[in-house]
């Protein structure tokens, strides 16, 4: 829980009373590698905080490929933002890349907490805003030529290139181009 509290404190003040209420309203889950936490077509009724591990958020594109839009590591939030905010089935999936521990809070608990602690609305709003911006940034990234996408990754998310848990094909899927193109750029031949 301490990791979740630290994360929330980076967003807005967090009273001791709200912390105590969160202890009883969050669910700790442990997932094995390759476990789907949210499948496309399901409604996302929760926001999760990654305590340890790594997950990816993505969607399928025609031809059977995947487009990854986010990698969430320990200390970050993860959920299907569009589905969570609309209540409609998600087009995204959330999948554990390795054994992952999350703290999940369901929308009904969030609504109850906001009713009891109106300041909690700021935390939730900032999480939703950050994930909406993340999706927009990913969309805009894909408007760039392939080489510029790769250079943007080096500048803004270089940790993806050095994290051994993230395979080259996953980064290629994130950048939206073929694996051979990514290999060429990574090897300095593009």
Tens digit of pLDDT for each residue in 148-166? 999 999 999 999 999 999 9
Q: In sequence order, which residues have a C-beta less than 8 Å from that of residue 105 and are 6 or more positions away?
A: 22, 25, 26, 27, 46, 47, 48
72 three-state secondary structure: strand
Between helix 168-175 and helix 146-156 the angle, nearest 10°, is 110
* pTM over the 0.85 mark: yes
From 1.20.1530.20, 2.60.120.10, 1.20.200.10, 2.60.120.380, which CATH number describes the 2-119 domain?
A: 2.60.120.10
Task: Give the model's pLDDT for residue 65.
Answer: 78
Phi and psi angles of residue 75, each rounded to the nearest 5 degrees, phi first: 95, 0
């Amino acid at each position: 829980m301490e990791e979740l509290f630290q994360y929330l404190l980076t967003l807005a003040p967090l009273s001791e009373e709200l912390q105590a209420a969160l202890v009883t309203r969050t669910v700790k889950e442990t997932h094995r590698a390759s476990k789907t936490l949210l499948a496309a077509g399901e409604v996302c009724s929760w926001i999760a905080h990654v305590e340890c591990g790594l997950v990816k958020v993505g969607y399928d594109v025609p031809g059977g490929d995947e487009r990854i839009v986010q990698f969430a590591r320990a200390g970050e939030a993860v959920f299907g933002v569009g589905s969570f905010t609309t209540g409609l089935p998600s087009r995204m999936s959330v999948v554990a890349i390795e054994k992952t521990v999350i703290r999940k809070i369901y929308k009904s608990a969030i609504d109850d907490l906001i009713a009891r602690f109106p300041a909690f609305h700021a935390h939730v709003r900032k999480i939703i805003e950050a994930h909406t911006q993340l999706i927009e940034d990913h969309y805009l990234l894909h408007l760039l030529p392939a080489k510029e996408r790769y250079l943007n990754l080096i500048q803004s998310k270089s940790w993806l290139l050095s994290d051994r848990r993230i395979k080259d094909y996953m980064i290629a899927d994130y950048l939206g181009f073929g694996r051979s193109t990514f290999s060429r750029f990574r090897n300095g031949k593009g």
